[in-house]
Amino acid sequence: RQETLEMAQNVERLKIEFLKQMQSEEERMQEEVQALQKKYQTEHVAFQVRSESVLRAAQQQFEKANNAMIERIKDLEYKLVTRESRPEDRERIAQLEKEVAEKEYLCKRIMEEMKYFKMELQHRDMPNGGGDKKEHSGKNSRSASRAR
């Protein structure tokens, strides 16, 4: 019985030592986890700061490039608006203006002839005593308008 009692005491003592070691190991592991969490938190903050710095630099570079492109576009627009016409364009414009003037003149002349012929038709339709006079005056008027 004595042996059993000593064995039970040894088992109890070993059990207590084991529990103490387990508790000690658990505390050490918790400290290690907290240290790792703190380390990773610090690294995360440093990474975030670097990332924000890189992002700001990229944004500034983008803004600089964007502003340069806007200025280039403005310069090109100004050059386009203020550029001098090409000689062939000026010649074509002059030619077209001449054609427009000729056509305007022809239209005006045709309109005058239309007025003349309308008046002639009205005069013919009017009952007037001298039939020969109408034909004679009509022939003179037509040849006069063609001479124009």
Please give the pLDDT value at position 128.
61
Give the DSSP letter string of the chain.
-HHHHHHHHHHHHHHHHHHHHHHHHHHHHHHHHHHHHHHHHHHHHHHHHHHHHHHHHHHHHHHHHHHHHHHHHHHHHHHHHHPPPPHHHHHHHHHHHHHHHHHHHHHHHHHHHHHHHHHHHHHHHS--S-HHHHHHHHHHHHHHHHH-
Sign for the pseudo-dihedral over CA of 36, 39, 45, 48: negative
58-100 residue pLDDT tens? 999 999 999 999 999 999 999 988 888 889 999 999 999 999 9
Please give the pLDDT value at position 148.
45
46-57 residue pLDDT tens? 999 999 999 999
